Structures are given as structure tokens and as C-alpha cells.
Chains A and B, each alone.
Chain A
Amino acid sequence: MYSEMNNADGLRPEYHAVAEWIEQVGPQVLMERRGEAEALFRRVGITFAVYGEGGDPDRLIPFDIVPRVFSAREWARIEQGSIQRTKALNAFLTDIYTEGAILKDGIVPEAEVRNNKAYAPIMEGMRPPGGIFSHVTGVDLVRCGQDEFYVLEDNCRTPSGISYVLENREVMLRMFPQLFADGLIRPVDTYADMLATAMEEVAPPHCDRDPRLAILTPGHFNSAYYEHSFLADQMGIDLVEGQDLFVEDGRLWMRTIRGPSRVDVLYRRIDDAFLDPKAFRPDSMLGVPGLMEIYKQGGVTIVNAPGAGVADDKSIYIHVPEMIRYYLGEEAILPNVPTYRCADPDQCAHVLANIGDLVVKEVHGSGGYGMIIGPAATDAECAAYAKRIEADPAGFIAQPTLKLSTAPTLSESGLVERHVDLRPYVISGKRTRLIPGGLTRVALREGSLVVNSSQGGGVKDTWVLSR
């Protein structure tokens, strides 16, 4: 098990500042400060909404006060690897919706793409401005050793969580300014600018003025609403709902107190299916009728593009290293987790025989639901899950149970080691880049490997050191 703070000889150098700070302040005071941090989050309203489960619908994601640290050298690799991967994913998306070269060359099976639920036939023949489908890409990483990073999955639809990255830092800056005094920790507050710039860069080609940007939210009952409003606020752009928008004369307009006002680039935080009742789900009340038609004509740019989700499906995931070779002529800097496809009979047999040692997931699942962690499951649970695999082998993939790295985390009994992962957010416009940081999620239960907030996960501030 890799501990991010300590190696066999003691403390790793990048954690010196954190260790010193904990030593000085003491766990008791830290516990008290954690309470203050929570009160701060609640006062500002940084909650995510969970409906239908009873209790307080406005929940806080638990915030762990001990930061997670990356050295400049470690980060350089994560940064290059995430950018490389995102470039390949965008090249892949543009390719499959236009020429389909990678399919014709037999690198990725055509059926796996065209039959994928997230594949959007309406996008065929469409090349979005700049060849970018996934303008905001979340690359979920885990670590198993000093230089051993794996990509767990990609998120090309509308990855959420960036508001926690920025707010976690705000809270730490406010509560512990002394930690940031020597300027060693790289700031993350350039995110909003970076995203706005990228959005301007992908404006429709014949946009004849400074592009007007907006964020489309399903509304304030959505669990990620805080993030939508936070981003709109940070970027200084309008936060719109479907009912605020309409299509006319090949353009997108919002209803304002002055009358209609044109929107050029729309960062939508609703799923493809709800975007346009004329093109997708006819019962959607959240979208804008006719949006897809003017999008395809170049009247507006949608961020992220519809149909981008096909690239982050688990069945496509296994092909990403080949995509990187195919489009960029490079080897993947950040490798995939070795993955068995149950669709293949031999691999399926291996999975069924070794289910107790593996993590098995639904191909189209997400959020940590519908998976089984073999070593943590009972024999009966494994047997029941095996039956599900046998019934629909193509619906499952399996991976070895990774020994995720652990980071120091504050608990009632003092400092403990808990498993963590990392989601950097890669932004693609004319350039592909990311802020030095990301969302560190931590499994707060002892021994747990599931970091999803819906399953008892928390978050940490993530530091990237400047040297």
C-alpha cells in the first residue's frame, strides 16, 4: 500500500509543510477547525442536493482538512498525461462522427461505437469549432506507487466537482493563511478565466462580435446547482434555464428584461437527452426546442458537444491507449488499469473464476453503483453477481483490485490513512490545458475504496507545489 505522506525512510519531502503544520496545531484543534470549515461551507451554500432519501436535502460533502500534495515533478507527469489523453479523446470523437478512420482501420470495433447508448447519430458529419467535442474533460486517476498512476475512467459529458476544488482552496486560504505565505503552493483560481477563454475560442465561425457566453442549468433543484451558479458567477456570465431560451432566425436567444439577447456559446450542464425535445427526448422541459438544428448550422456552439459521452464509456475506455498511438503517434503517459472485457468469452471465464480478487463494473454504470469489489464481498454476493455477468457478459468489465494510495486524513481518533483518487479538469479550446490541481476524493470509511460522494466519500484541498 502506497502512503502519499510517508515512505519507508519517513516523511516524503513534499509533505514537510503539512506535517509541520499538523504537529504545530495538533489534531484536537484541527477537529475544531473542521467544524468551522463545515459551518463556512453551509453558510456559503456549498451543498449538493439529494432528494427522495429523507433527511436534509442540502448535504455537505465532508471536507477533510488535511491537504493532498503533489510535487512539481509528479504534477508535470499528470498534466502531460491528462492533456495527451484529452487530445486523443477529442480527435477520436471528431473522427468517429466524420470520417471514421479509426473504425475503418479496425483499431476500434465499429459496432462498439455505433451501438453505444451515448453515440449520437445526429452528430454525424458535424465537426464542431476547433474539432473539440469535450471542452471540459475529467480524467479520473488513481495511484498505486511512486510513479504508478492509472486512469480509472474519463468523463467527457459534463464532469462536475470543480466548484469543490476552488472552494476547498478558498476555505483553506481563509482558515490557514500561514500555509500559503511562502508561495510554494500553486494557485487554482484561474479556472474560470481559462474556461471562459476556451469558450470564446470555440465560438461559431461567423460570430461577428465578442461571443456572449451562458451556462445552461436544469435549475436549482439539481444536485449540482451550486456549481452551476458558482461558475456563472466566477465567469461573470448568465446562468440560464431552458425556459429562458428560444431559437429564432438560426440563433439562440435568451429572454431578458430588455427583450431577446443573443447567446453564442452555451455551456450546458444538462444531459444530451434533455437538450432539445425536437432532437432527443420529446418530453424534456429542460432544453430548448430547435437547439440542435441551429447548432448544426453553426448558429451556436454547445459545450460539451452532444455525443461526447461515447468516448468515456467503459467499453471504449480500453481503446484509449491505442487512440493515443493512432492520433498522436505517442505512447500513453498515464496507462489504463488492466481491464478484462466479459464480452470476450476467454476473458469472461477468467473473470468468473477470479471474481473474488477483482472489481467488476457495469459497462454503462457510474457513480460507484452496481459494482462489486471482490475482496470485500461475501461468497454469496460474488455468486449472485456472477449470475448477472453470465446473463449479460457484454454488460460488464473487470479490473484487478488496485491497492489505491492512501493520504493522511483527520478522524475522531486522530490522523488516519484513507484511500484517495484524483480528478484533474482538462479544458480544451485553441489550447488544451488545466489548472495545477484537481478534485481529490477520499474514502472516509476505513479500508473503503469507494470515493464517490454518494457512497460516503469526502474531498480534500489538492496542492501542487511550484518546485
Chain B
Amino acid sequence: MLSRVAGGLFWMSRYVERAETVARLLDAGRRINAIPSSPEVRAAEWASIIVASGCRETFPKPLEEADQRSVAQHLIFDESNPSSIRMCLYQARTNARAMRTAVTADAWEAINESWIAMRAKAPEHITGGEFAPFLDWAKGQAQKFRGAIDDTLLRDSGYNFTRLGQYVERADATARLLDVKYHVLLPADAEVGGVVDEGQWVQILRAAGALRAYRHVYRASVTPDRVVHYLVLNGMCPRSLRYCSAMVLRQLDELRTRLGQSHAAHTRAGEMFARLQDLEIAEVFTDGLHEFLTGRIEENNRLAVDIAAGYGFGPAEAALQEQLQED
């Protein structure tokens, strides 16, 4: 397999996953927005979505002026934001098109249709009661694509790179979603651990599509400890950092077997997984949740760089991705 193709598959998956993440973040924002609150807190809630999505620098307004309309515009439609849902689908589709022979017709048609439908959407189509259905639609597109990949792609190296992109991106997404809670302010009269606080944790779980699973697993009320345990350490949760780490490691192991080569990425991924396996929930909070999550996001980025370097889609690939964004 050409290194360029491996890189294209990796990024194609990342962008599809990112489109879903952005939809989930907006869903969290939408839900938190429904909790009674004051205007300043309301703005901070939407600002937190921008910060958690990593789009603070591209957001065109001062953060304190963030509201549903401007945040949705920036995270869904803005062409100057490479992480907007529109641009994610565009880039996923462009990568798929460039790697057309390495993806199946089903997977290509899924992403191509998503892009064609997304291109036809405008902000006025998703106001009011149309907002939540749109977010569901966006999540559904990512799921349809992954389903097509899972059902039809040959189980060769290409499949491994597709899955690598997916889980590297998902680990990043889960860390960011949890981090929303750090950025959201509690109203002045609300207490930590109070009704509002708990309500916000519930919405984080909902956005991760995990509320019912949480109740099923813990059979207990929602507490910060347990939510963090579920989304970081619980190996059964398909979005937890630990699960993502295990999946990344599995893909890398398969590639090592197939190609008979080992790279720095293998070592790093192995270490990352071992640490998550041994971690106690209290340790996550020792230096603060936000600091812990920031550390994981940075580590995950370094892993992505190692993967690209090991399989020869390093700097040239970064240049290609830039070129895609300029087009």
C-alpha cells in the first residue's frame, strides 16, 4: 500500500469521526442550554463548546458573545473552520475521492452522499426544532460511513489505517467532551455537587450517547467520579480513552504482524495503554481533571505524529492536508 494512501485513509476516518464529535459537542451545548440559568452563564456554556472543540482561534467573535446561533454557524457551516462539520465532511470526502481505489463503493457512496446532502444545507434549515434532528443526522452519517467500512472493507493494512484514524480521533474527542464540564461555569448560587452540577454531568453523558449505558453499568446516581471513570477508564465503554487506546494498539499490532516492522508509534501506544490500564480514578483528579485531559490530548497528538512518521505519510501528508483545506 502506498504511504500516501495509508495517510489518506487515516485522515478520512479522522475527519468523519471529527464531524460526529462536533455534532456531539453541539448536542451537549443544546442540552446544557436547556438547564435554567442566567444570561452570563448561558454565554459561558456556549463558549465552553467552542473551547472544547479546539476552535477558539477560528471563532470570529469574542468568546463572551458566543450564543447558539454563532456557535452553530461556526461549528457546522464555517468554511474557514477546518473542524466545522461541513469542512470535515468535505475533507473526508476529498480524501476518500483521492484514495478511491482503497475504499469500497459502499463506503465511498456513504461519504459522497453525506457531502452532497451537507452541501445543500444552510443555517436557516436547522433553526428551532430542526437543530436536534440535524445533529442526529450528522451523527448518523458518521455511523453509516463506519458501518460501510466495517461491513465491506478488505481486512488488510488499509482497514488498520482507517481504524487507527478513527480511534486516535475518538480519544481526542472524548477528552474534549469531558473537558466541556471544566469550562462550563456553575451559576453563582449553585453548589458543586448540587442539582445544576449534576445536570451538567448528565448532559455530558448524553452527548457521549452514554447515559443509559452508564446507569446500566453503575446502577447509581451520576457523580463526577463515575462519569470520568466511565469515559476514561472503563474498557467496556466504546468511547472511553482506555478502549480507544486498546483499539489503536490492536491496529498497530496487526500492522506489525503484517509488515514485519515496528516503529516508535508501537512503543508509545503500548505505554499509553499500560498507563490507562493501571490508573486509579483518584489519580485522574490528583492534578485536576482539566490538566489530566490536556495531557492526554497532547500525548495523543504525539502518537499521531509517530504513526505518520512510521508509515511514511509524515510531512508530505501534512502538506497535502493543508492543500485540501485551501482548495
Contact = CB atoms under 8 A, between A and B. Distances in A.
Query: A and B: real partners?
Result: yes
A243 B97 contact: no
B109 A44 contact: yes
B4 A241 contact: yes
Given A45-B112, A255-B312, A239 B3 contact: no
Contact of B3 (A221, A225, A226, A255): A255
A181 to B, nearest CB: 25
B261 A258 contact: yes
Residue among B2, B3, B316 having the largest count of chain A Cβ atoms under 10 Å:
B2
A258 B316 CA distance: 17
B306 to A, nearest CB: 14
Contacts of B157: 257
A467 interface: no
A229 interface: yes
Contacts of A43: 109, 112-113
Contact of A257 (B1, B94, B108, B113): B1
A257 B101 CA distance: 16
A271 interface: no
Contacts of B217: none
Contacts of B1: 256-258
Given A42-B116, A44-B105, A45-B108, A256 B2 contact: yes
B101 to A, nearest CB: 5
Contact of B98 (A220, A232, A233, A254): A220
Nearest to B320: A243
Interface in A48-80: none
Nearest to A229: B100
A281 to B, nearest CB: 20
A254 B100 CA distance: 18
A430 B94 CA distance: 38
Contacts of A238: 2, 101
B1 to A, nearest CB: 5
A230 B97 CA distance: 11
A225 B108 CA distance: 15
B101 A254 contact: no
* A contact patch SS: mixed
A244 interface: yes
Interface string B225-263: 000000000000000000000000000000100010100
A218 B35 CA distance: 54
Interface size class of A (residues with CB under 8 A): 20 to 34
Contact of A255 (B2, B98, B100, B112): B2
A257 B316 contact: no
Contacts of B100: 45, 220, 226, 229-230, 233, 239
Interface string B100-120: 110001001100110010000
A244 B4 contact: yes
A239 B103 CA distance: 13
Contacts of A130: none
B311 interface: yes
B287 interface: no
A240 interface: yes
Interface in B25-57: none
Interface centre among A42, A244, A257 (most CB of B within 10 A): A257
A421 B312 CA distance: 47
Judged by DSSP, the binding face of B is helix
B11 to A, nearest CB: 13
Nearest to B327: A221
A290 interface: no
Nearest to A236: B101
A215 B273 CA distance: 40
A11 B98 CA distance: 46
Contacts of B312: 255-257
A256 B112 CA distance: 26
B6 interface: yes
Given A229-B100, A229-B101, A233-B101, A240 B109 contact: no
Interface in A213-239: 219-221, 225-226, 229-230, 232-233, 238-239
A467 B101 CA distance: 37
B2 A240 contact: yes
A51 B6 CA distance: 27
Centre residue among B100, B105, B311 by max chain A CB count within 10 A = B100
Contacts of A229: 97, 100-101
Contact of B6 (A42, A219, A254, A257): A257
B116 A254 contact: no
Contacts of A44: 105, 108-109
A44 B111 CA distance: 11
A219 B98 contact: yes
Contacts of B94: 220
B319 to A, nearest CB: 9
A256 B3 contact: yes
A314 B13 CA distance: 48
Nearest to B116: A42
Interface in B84-141: 94, 97-98, 100-101, 105, 108-109, 112-113, 116
Contacts of B255: 257
Nearest to A254: B2
A73 B261 CA distance: 59
25 contacts: A44-B105, A44-B108, A45-B108, A219-B98, A220-B97, A220-B98, A230-B100, A232-B101, A233-B100, A238-B101, A239-B100, A244-B3, A255-B2, A255-B3, A256-B1, A256-B312, A257-B1, A257-B3, A257-B6, A257-B157, A257-B255, A257-B259, A257-B312, A258-B1, A258-B259
Given A44-B105, A255-B2, A257-B1, 10 more contacts: A43-B112, A44-B108, A45-B100, A45-B112, A220-B94, A221-B327, A225-B97, A229-B97, A233-B100, A257-B312
